[in-house]
């Protein structure tokens, strides 16, 4: 289907939705990968030309990205790339720990042997790409690995989890590509999660997943504000391990 360009005539709703979906996906990837710098003011004219769409689907795509926390609107219709925020990082990973542990606990007892075997296959695929430090190839099996551990939690909970994961992706990309130990640490942590899932050990899987997210967030936070105390993440982790003195190690 042809996407309407700036200056073209009216289009039907299906074509407009296609244009919105296309520019949202491409612009979102550019934001996550740092191709558009945090804090940068975006020119809607230039973006429309860059992605080959009219201003109407572009504005709708930008509204979707604003809901995801990737851009912020300013007076006079200016749109700026959302800055990296240490408080946002703390909160979004606390949300992920809280929601995903609940989803994991609802899902794991009901997973079939075939579904667990599929999770193991995904872990092996992730391992191959991680050993090559290939983020593009690693990203999709990594996302599916985590989601496959949560898939029976219910549509509403999964929708909230997906939104939180989307919001966290900019931080995870920065951590994975900038922290030298990220790939090796990630391999160990995902294998630990897999072992607990294979054993159908809900408690061990919950702790392994929560500690994994906490370590990712703490390492990402160190890139932004090394002295920051991630209070929300630590509190979420305490709820999972049920200890008043839990540490992120």
The rounded distance, in Å, linking the Cα atoms of 46 and 240 is 47
Pairwise CA distance, residues 168 & 123, whole Å: 20
Alpha helices, DSSP H, located in 135-226: 135-148, 155-178, 182-198, 202-224
Domain span at residue 132 reads 86-241
Which domain CATH number covers 93?
1.20.120.530
Residues 76 and 113 in one domain: no
| 229 assigned to some structural domain | yes
For helices 182-198 and 202-224, angle between their N-to-C axes, nearest 10 degrees: 160
Is the pLDDT at 167 greater than 90, yes or no? no
Q: Quick check: is 136 in a domain?
A: yes
Residue 61 has pLDDT above 50, yes or no: yes
Determine if the pTM surpasses 0.85: no
User: What burial class does residue 221 get, using C-beta atoms within 10 Å of its C-beta: 0-12 exposed, 13-18 middle, 19+ buried?
Assistant: buried
User: Last residue of some domain: 59, 81, 103?
Assistant: 81
Whether residues 60 and 154 share a domain: the answer is no
Tell whether 76 and 111 lie within a shared domain.
no
Per-residue pLDDT reduced to its tens digit, 176-228 = 998 889 999 999 999 999 999 999 999 999 999 999 999 999 999 888 888 88
In a domain, 36, yes or no: yes
Q: What is the largest CA-CA distance in the chain?
A: 63
Only one residue has tokens 């072992």, namely: 195
Same domain, 46 and 111: no
**Same domain, yes or no: 155 and 218:** yes
* Domain contains 30: yes
Q: What is the mean pLDDT of residues 86-94?
A: 94
Number of domains the chain is built from: 2
Residue 214 maps to a domain: yes
95-153 tens-digit pLDDT: 999 999 999 999 999 999 999 999 999 999 999 999 999 999 999 999 999 999 999 99
> Is 231 inside any structural domain?
yes
**213 shares its domain with 172:** yes
């Amino acid at each position: 289907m042809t996407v309407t360009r700036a200056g073209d005539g009216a289009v039907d709703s299906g074509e407009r939705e296609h244009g919105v979906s296309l520019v949202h996906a491409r612009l979102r990837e550019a934001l996550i990968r740092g191709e558009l710098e945090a804090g940068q003011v975006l020119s809607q004219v230039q973006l429309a030309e860059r992605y080959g769409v009219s201003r109407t689907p572009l504005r709708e795509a930008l509204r979707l990205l604003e809901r995801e926390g990737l851009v912020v609107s300013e007076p006079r219709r200016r749109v700026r790339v959302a800055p990296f925020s240490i408080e946002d990082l703390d909160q979004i990973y606390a949300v992920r720990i809280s929601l995903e542990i609940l989803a994991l606990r609802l899902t794991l007892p009901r997973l079939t042997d075939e579904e667990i075997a599929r999770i193991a296959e995904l872990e092996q695929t992730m391992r191959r790409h991680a050993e090559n430090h290939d983020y593009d190839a690693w990203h999709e099996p990594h996302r599916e690995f985590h989601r496959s551990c949560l898939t029976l939690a219910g549509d509403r909970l999964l929708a909230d989890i997906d939104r939180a994961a989307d919001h966290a992706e900019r931080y995870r990309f920065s951590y994975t590509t900038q922290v030298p130990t990220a790939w090796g640490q990630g391999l160990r942590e995902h294998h630990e999660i897999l072992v607990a899932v294979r054993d159908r050990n809900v408690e061990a899987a919950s702790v392994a997943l929560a500690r994994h997210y906490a370590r990712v967030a703490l390492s990402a936070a160190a890139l932004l504000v090394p002295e920051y105390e991630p209070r929300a993440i630590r509190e979420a982790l305490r709820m999972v391990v049920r200890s008043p003195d839990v540490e992120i190690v």
